[in-house]
Amino acid sequence: MNKILVANRGEIAMRVMRTAREMGIKTVAVYSEADRNMPFVRYADEAVCIGPAPSSQSYLRADKIIEVAKELGADAIHPGYGFLSENASFSKAVSDAGLIFIGPSAHSIEVMGSKIGAKQAAKKFNVPMVPGTEEPLKDVNQAREIARSIGYPILVKASAGGGGKGMRVVNTDEEFDDQVRAARSEALSSFGNDDVFIEKYVGSPKHIEIQLMGDQHGNYVYLFERECSVQRRHQKLIEEAPSSCLTPDVRKAMGECAIAAARSCNYYGAGTVEFLVDENLNFYFLEMNTRLQVEHCVTEMITGIDLVKEQINVARGEKLSFTQEDLKIHGHAIELRVCAEDPLNNFLPDTGKLEMYQPPKGPGVRVDDGYEEGMDIPIFYDPMISKLIAYAGTRDEAIDRLCRAIDEYYIKGIKTTLQFGKWAVNVEAFRSGNFDTKFIEKYYKPEYLQGEGNEEEEIAALLSAFAWHQASSARQANTKSTSASGSGRSKWKLSRS
């Protein structure tokens, strides 16, 4: 494998290309017109513009991307995350074009892309499930009987769903028909598929996911867990490894279940199995993500494994370079997604120019970013501009280091989630590990961030007030002396300095 085309942009494109370079593999970037000046375009050995800014005309143009890969003699395509990374047709089209897709087979993507298909596959391998159905609901009366037997509250979920879309909580029998109808209609309009199923509603669960790697020779390892419970509208904001609540036994059991789920679809490559975990550490299979995830970095920090390198090695047919016994947890890593969003305005995306952009440095600080100072944040793509990862020996030290790094992350020109992150990791419930997926709903209020992070403005205001005070004192002294001597030059310019 001599040349990889990275079918992505921003920080993950930089991330993949850095590992490729370390492996002596050439890289090709594909970019949209809006990304012409992005660092990843300059970093690649070759770069080709594949279309206008909108993703549908650029980063989702499967045919164009494969055409460029063949024209430039790339051996493989790495999809990153998002865009085409979990598109089974793209995986197949890449293979059909005689190229290597650095990811799982189209079959694995298809099986795990359907929530019902994933549950059916995982159930055959005895992976714990939330009580519910593993078939699409056909007869609403029969479904209501099942709901009664499970016991309310229950959830109606879209099989083709993701990120909470098409999910409805049903608290009573009376609501059942309407909520099923609503879930079906949202699923049909959002995903073109109205298959829904039901599950017992697990109240206030933690979201804990297991990173796994499988090769094309049947070998599997789990690289422990990541806790991703601090989410907002199903968008993760803070992730950490390991979780603060798992015991070694539960960790091992979850890891083995994740591998079982992978085996159920003959998985190979990097994958993540998501679980719901209740307060008694009972865990339930949620879904399997058939891609490298945004938050893979915290796993890399505690295991010392370069997951992109392992993806490339597996894709070119190599066996995993380590066994389960080789893997140990060292220290603690915590990641904050630095997003161009305004936490004071419902986390709405913010746009603008990075007038100042100086990432933090120092021991145990990793910044995976894709922009530079002076660049405009384009409106066309995900608002995440970087991932700030702090690594230390213990969880408390990692949190303290993250706070220091946040204080030294100088960004001007856009609003970001930096101050939200600092607030969040200092909430007692977070520090103690006693939090779940309702953390933001339970603890966050925008007013907690009022006045945070604008020390410079405060200093400027104080200096201005001090200068005004000085000037007015001088004026008064002048007035006294003028009334005696008659010369009254204004000191106004001083008060405005």
Residue 98 or 164 with smaller CB distance to ligand MV4? 164
Cβ 360 to ligand MV4, closest distance in Å? 28
Cα distance between residue 393 and residue 468, in whole Å: 49
Query: What span, in angstroms and rounded, lies between the C-alpha atoms of 337 and 331?
Result: 20
When the beta carbons of 357 and 430 are compared against ligand MV4, the nearer one is: 430
Structure tokens that stand for 427 in this block? 């909430």
By C-beta, is 299 or 437 nearer to ligand MV4?
437
Shortest distance (Å) from residue 159 CB to ligand MV4: 12
Residues whose CB falls within 8 Å of the CB of residue 490, separated by 6 or more in sequence, listed in order = 475
Minimum distance from CB of 196 to ligand MV4 (Å)?
13
Residue in the structure block whose two tokens are 């005309």? 57
Among the listed residues 379, 309, 372, 369, the one whose alpha carbon sits nearest the alpha carbon of residue 336:
369
To the nearest whole angstrom, how small is the minimum distance from the Cβ of residue 167 to ligand MV4?
Answer: 6
How many angstroms separate the CA atoms of 103 and 81, rounded? 10
Positions in the binding site for ligand MV4 (CB under 6 A): 130, 155, 163-164, 199-202, 205, 207, 231, 234, 276, 286, 437
- Structural element, H or E, at residue 253: helix 248-263
Strand pairing partners for 93? none
**Residue 62 or 258: which CB sits closer to ligand MV4?**
258
Beta carbons within 8 Å of 338's beta carbon, 6+ residues apart = 369, 384, 385, 386, 387, 388, 409, 411, 416, 417, 418, 421
Give the residue with the Cβ less far from ligand MV4, 76 or 202: 202
In the complex with ligand MV4, the residue whose CB is nearer, 311 or 437, is: 437
Residue 372 CB: number of other CB atoms within 10 A? 12
The whole-angstrom separation of Cα 131 and Cα 198 is 9
Q: Are strands 235-241 and 332-339 parallel, antiparallel or unpaired?
A: antiparallel
Cβ 207 to ligand MV4 shortest distance, Å: 4
d(CA 53, CA 34): 5
Token duo for residue 121: 């596959």
Active site residues: 291
Residues 6+ apart with CB under 8 A from 79: 7, 8, 85, 87, 90, 101, 102, 103, 291
CB of residue 395 vs ligand MV4: minimum separation in angstroms?
20
